[in-house]
Amino acid sequence: MKTVIATALALAVPGLAAAHDYILGDLEIIHPRIFETAATAKAGGGYVTIANEGGTADALIGVDADFPKVMLHRSTEEDGVMRMRHVDEISLPAGEIVELAPGGYHVMFMGLSEPLEAGDEVPATLRFEKAGDLEIMFKVIERTGHMDHDSMQGSGSE
Protein backbone atom coordinates (compact mmCIF):
# COMPACT_ATOMS: atom_id res chain seq x y z
CA MET A 1 0.00 0.00 0.00
CA LYS A 2 2.82 2.43 0.83
CA THR A 3 4.33 1.97 -2.62
CA VAL A 4 0.94 2.52 -4.26
CA ILE A 5 0.42 5.86 -2.51
CA ALA A 6 3.97 7.06 -3.24
CA THR A 7 3.65 6.03 -6.89
CA ALA A 8 0.27 7.75 -7.25
CA LEU A 9 1.64 10.95 -5.72
CA ALA A 10 4.76 10.81 -7.89
CA LEU A 11 2.62 10.61 -11.01
CA ALA A 12 0.16 13.27 -9.87
CA VAL A 13 2.59 15.96 -8.69
CA PRO A 14 5.16 17.28 -11.19
CA GLY A 15 8.72 16.90 -9.95
CA LEU A 16 7.73 14.43 -7.27
CA ALA A 17 9.13 11.45 -9.16
CA ALA A 18 12.58 12.49 -7.95
CA ALA A 19 11.27 12.95 -4.42
CA HIS A 20 12.90 11.69 -1.27
CA ASP A 21 10.69 9.72 1.10
CA TYR A 22 10.93 8.49 4.68
CA ILE A 23 9.01 5.84 6.62
CA LEU A 24 8.25 5.84 10.35
CA GLY A 25 5.89 3.04 11.36
CA ASP A 26 2.64 3.61 9.45
CA LEU A 27 3.64 7.13 8.39
CA GLU A 28 5.17 7.89 5.02
CA ILE A 29 6.85 11.29 4.73
CA ILE A 30 7.01 12.35 1.08
CA HIS A 31 9.13 15.07 -0.55
CA PRO A 32 10.02 17.48 2.30
CA ARG A 33 10.92 20.78 0.65
CA ILE A 34 11.48 24.48 1.23
CA PHE A 35 11.29 27.11 -1.51
CA GLU A 36 14.48 29.12 -1.93
CA THR A 37 14.32 32.44 -0.10
CA ALA A 38 15.21 35.99 -1.03
CA ALA A 39 18.47 37.43 0.29
CA THR A 40 16.60 39.55 2.87
CA ALA A 41 14.10 36.90 3.99
CA LYS A 42 13.99 36.19 7.70
CA ALA A 43 11.74 33.10 7.35
CA GLY A 44 10.99 30.25 5.00
CA GLY A 45 8.17 27.74 4.74
CA GLY A 46 8.65 23.98 4.81
CA TYR A 47 6.24 21.67 3.01
CA VAL A 48 5.75 17.90 2.99
CA THR A 49 3.14 15.24 2.28
CA ILE A 50 2.39 12.83 5.14
CA ALA A 51 0.46 9.62 4.46
CA ASN A 52 -0.90 7.84 7.53
CA GLU A 53 -1.38 4.30 6.29
CA GLY A 54 -2.27 2.86 9.68
CA GLY A 55 -5.53 2.34 11.51
CA THR A 56 -4.71 4.88 14.25
CA ALA A 57 -4.66 8.66 14.01
CA ASP A 58 -1.43 10.48 14.85
CA ALA A 59 -0.34 14.12 14.88
CA LEU A 60 2.70 16.14 13.89
CA ILE A 61 3.43 17.98 17.14
CA GLY A 62 6.65 19.77 16.29
CA VAL A 63 9.75 20.15 14.18
CA ASP A 64 13.28 20.69 15.44
CA ALA A 65 15.94 22.31 13.24
CA ASP A 66 18.96 24.56 13.61
CA PHE A 67 17.08 27.87 13.42
CA PRO A 68 16.23 30.33 16.21
CA LYS A 69 12.56 29.34 15.96
CA VAL A 70 10.64 26.59 14.17
CA MET A 71 6.84 26.45 14.40
CA LEU A 72 3.87 24.72 12.84
CA HIS A 73 1.61 27.23 11.08
CA ARG A 74 -1.60 27.33 9.12
CA SER A 75 -2.33 29.98 6.52
CA THR A 76 -5.94 31.02 6.05
CA GLU A 77 -7.70 33.74 4.14
CA GLU A 78 -9.71 36.16 6.28
CA ASP A 79 -11.59 38.99 4.59
CA GLY A 80 -9.37 38.72 1.53
CA VAL A 81 -6.13 38.81 3.54
CA MET A 82 -3.84 35.80 4.01
CA ARG A 83 -2.93 35.25 7.64
CA MET A 84 -0.63 32.78 9.35
CA ARG A 85 -1.39 31.36 12.76
CA HIS A 86 0.66 29.09 14.99
CA VAL A 87 -0.91 25.66 15.57
CA ASP A 88 0.10 23.23 18.31
CA GLU A 89 -0.27 20.19 16.08
CA ILE A 90 -1.36 18.96 12.67
CA SER A 91 -3.77 16.02 12.82
CA LEU A 92 -2.96 12.95 10.72
CA PRO A 93 -6.19 10.92 10.48
CA ALA A 94 -5.86 7.16 10.01
CA GLY A 95 -5.78 6.11 6.37
CA GLU A 96 -5.49 9.66 5.04
CA ILE A 97 -2.93 11.87 3.33
CA VAL A 98 -2.20 15.33 4.75
CA GLU A 99 -0.46 17.88 2.55
CA LEU A 100 1.59 20.67 4.09
CA ALA A 101 1.55 23.12 1.18
CA PRO A 102 1.54 26.85 0.36
CA GLY A 103 -1.72 28.43 1.51
CA GLY A 104 -2.34 25.83 4.23
CA TYR A 105 -0.42 24.00 6.90
CA HIS A 106 3.37 24.37 6.83
CA VAL A 107 6.52 24.42 8.92
CA MET A 108 7.84 27.94 9.51
CA PHE A 109 11.63 28.22 9.81
CA MET A 110 12.31 31.63 11.41
CA GLY A 111 15.39 33.70 12.07
CA LEU A 112 17.27 32.92 8.86
CA SER A 113 20.77 34.38 8.96
CA GLU A 114 21.36 33.78 5.24
CA PRO A 115 19.18 32.87 2.27
CA LEU A 116 18.22 29.28 1.55
CA GLU A 117 19.34 28.48 -1.99
CA ALA A 118 18.08 25.82 -4.39
CA GLY A 119 20.12 22.67 -3.90
CA ASP A 120 20.68 23.24 -0.17
CA GLU A 121 19.43 20.67 2.32
CA VAL A 122 18.08 21.48 5.77
CA PRO A 123 18.25 18.72 8.40
CA ALA A 124 15.24 18.57 10.70
CA THR A 125 13.52 16.23 13.13
CA LEU A 126 9.77 15.71 12.78
CA ARG A 127 8.09 14.95 16.12
CA PHE A 128 4.94 12.83 16.03
CA GLU A 129 2.61 12.29 18.98
CA LYS A 130 2.49 8.48 18.64
CA ALA A 131 5.08 7.42 16.05
CA GLY A 132 7.94 9.31 17.72
CA ASP A 133 10.75 11.29 16.09
CA LEU A 134 12.14 11.06 12.57
CA GLU A 135 15.24 12.79 11.20
CA ILE A 136 14.75 14.02 7.63
CA MET A 137 16.24 16.45 5.12
CA PHE A 138 14.18 19.27 3.62
CA LYS A 139 15.49 19.95 0.10
CA VAL A 140 15.56 23.60 -0.94
CA ILE A 141 13.95 23.95 -4.37
CA GLU A 142 13.47 26.75 -6.88
CA ARG A 143 10.53 29.06 -6.53
CA THR A 144 7.75 28.14 -8.92
CA GLY A 145 5.34 31.04 -8.58
CA HIS A 146 3.82 29.86 -5.28
CA MET A 147 3.22 32.50 -2.66
CA ASP A 148 5.93 32.23 -0.07
CA HIS A 149 6.60 33.70 3.33
CA ASP A 150 8.99 36.38 2.06
CA SER A 151 5.95 38.28 0.80
CA MET A 152 3.79 37.89 3.91
CA GLN A 153 5.21 40.68 6.08
CA GLY A 154 2.44 42.24 8.10
CA SER A 155 0.21 39.24 7.50
CA GLY A 156 -0.78 38.91 11.11
CA SER A 157 1.39 35.89 11.81
CA GLU A 158 1.83 35.05 15.45
> What is the β-pairing status of strands 132-141 and 27-35?
parallel
Lowest mean pLDDT among 8-12, 44-48, 58-62, 141-145: 8-12
17, 62, 133 from 27: Cα distances, Å: 19, 15, 11
Q: Is residue 69 part of a domain?
A: yes
List pLDDT tens digits, range 55-87. 999 999 999 999 999 999 999 998 999 999 999
- What is the tally of structural domains in the chain? 1
Q: Is residue 153 part of a domain?
A: no
pLDDT above 50: residue 148: no
Q: Is residue 150 part of a domain?
A: no
Q: Is residue 148 part of a domain?
A: no
The DSSP output letter for 66 is: S
Q: Can you tell me the mean pLDDT for 123-146?
A: 93
pLDDT above 80: residue 3: no
Q: Can you tell me the mean pLDDT for 112-134?
A: 98
Q: CATH number of the domain at 63, please.
A: 2.60.40.1890
Q: Is residue 128 part of a domain?
A: yes
pTM: 0.80
Closest CA to 47 of 154, 147, 156, 152: 147
Domain of 12 in residue numbering reads as: 2-143
Q: Is residue 102 part of a domain?
A: yes
% of the chain residues with pLDDT over 90 = 77
pLDDT grade for 144, boundaries at 50, 70 and 90: confident
Question: What mean pLDDT value characterizes the chain?
Answer: 86
Q: Is residue 154 part of a domain?
A: no
Q: Can you tell me the mean pLDDT for 125-135?
A: 99
**Sign, Cα dihedral of 148, 150, 151, 153:** positive
> Which run of H or E residues covers position 65?
strand 58-65
pLDDT of residue 19: 52
Cα distance between residue 104 and residue 118, in whole Å:
22
Cβ neighbours for 18, distance < 8 A, ≥ 6 positions apart = none
Q: Is residue 158 part of a domain?
A: no
DSSP string covering 76-112, please?
Answer: EEETTEEEEEE-S-EEE-TT-EEEE-TTSEEEEEE--
